[in-house]
């Protein structure tokens, strides 16, 4: 994952791991499953594998090679296969551990880090952050409205919802300031 751009590299994984551990302090569940799923959640992200999600496949392979038991492998594979925003309604229900990792992943899309990741993603895929007097659908600004500002209400745990409030407020202030400065 070291070569992945667009805000989905090792630094993202380590932030998700840290947030998942923080949420776990409030929401007690199986920490080993949380940590493994956080570390492996983007290992086969579809954005980097021709549109095919391979995180569950790669997680099974890695954990199998490390000698993990079948129940752990199945649990982690289920989580990494069902936490993405992209899966939407087709995602299968998550365990509490999966909800913790999903919340941690969503938190990393918010706040100052979320702003930087949006810009990185746009730069990697040729998407402008903002185009004056144009449809914002395929811009970073559009992404704020299409996805990022929805994340707070999609959090599974109260702990993550509380963490998301300040991050979303910061993003809204940033966007207001950015748009004010962008006026001609």
Residue 121 confidence (pLDDT): 84
Q: Band the pLDDT of 8: cuts 50, 70, 90.
A: low
Q: Distance between CA atoms of 98 and 20, rounded to whole angstroms?
A: 10
Q: Distance between CA atoms of 44 and 55, rounded to whole angstroms?
A: 4
Average pLDDT over residues 139-150: 91
User: Which stretches within 66-137 are classed as H helix?
Assistant: 70-82, 96-107, 111-124
Kindly report the average pLDDT of the chain as a whole number: 88
More confident residue, 171 or 48: 171
pLDDT tens figures, 81-114: 999 877 667 778 899 999 999 999 999 999 999 9
Asked whether residue 136 carries a pLDDT value surpassing 70, the answer given is: no
Residue 46 confidence (pLDDT): 61
Distances (CA, A) of 140 to 69, 88, 119, 128, 143: 42, 20, 7, 6, 5
More confident residue, 119 or 45: 119
Residue 42 confidence (pLDDT): 85
- Return the closest-CA partner of residue 99 out of 11, 13, 10, 29: 29
pLDDT tens figures, 18-29: 999 999 999 999
Residue 124 confidence (pLDDT): 82
Q: Distance between CA atoms of 169 and 163, rounded to whole angstroms?
A: 11
Portion of the chain with pLDDT greater than 70, in percent: 88
Asked whether residue 47 carries a pLDDT value surpassing 70, the answer given is: no
Q: Distance between CA atoms of 82 and 98, rounded to whole angstroms?
A: 8
Q: Distance between CA atoms of 29 and 26, rounded to whole angstroms?
A: 9
Angle between helices 70-82 and 55-65 (to 10 degrees): 160
């Amino acid at each position: 994952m070291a070569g992945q751009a667009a805000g989905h590299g090792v630094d993202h994984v380590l932030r998700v791991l840290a947030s998942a551990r923080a949420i776990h302090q409030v929401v007690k569940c199986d920490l080993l499953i949380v940590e493994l799923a956080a570390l492996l959640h983007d290992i086969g992200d579809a954005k980097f594998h021709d549109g095919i999600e391979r995180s569950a496949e790669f997680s099974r392979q890695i954990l199998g090679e490390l000698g993990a038991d079948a129940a752990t492998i199945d649990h982690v594979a289920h989580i990494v296969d069902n936490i993405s925003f992209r899966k939407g309604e087709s995602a299968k229900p998550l365990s509490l551990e999966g909800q913790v990792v999903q919340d941690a992943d969503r938190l990393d899309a918010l706040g100052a880090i979320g702003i930087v990741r949006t810009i990185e993603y746009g730069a990697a895929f040729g998407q402008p952050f903002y185009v004056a007097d144009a449809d914002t659908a395929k811009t970073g600004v559009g992404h704020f409205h299409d996805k990022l500002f929805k994340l707070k209400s999609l959090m599974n745990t109260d702990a993550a919802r509380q963490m998301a409030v300040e991050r979303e407020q910061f993003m809204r202030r940033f966007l207001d300031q950015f748009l004010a400065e962008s006026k001609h």
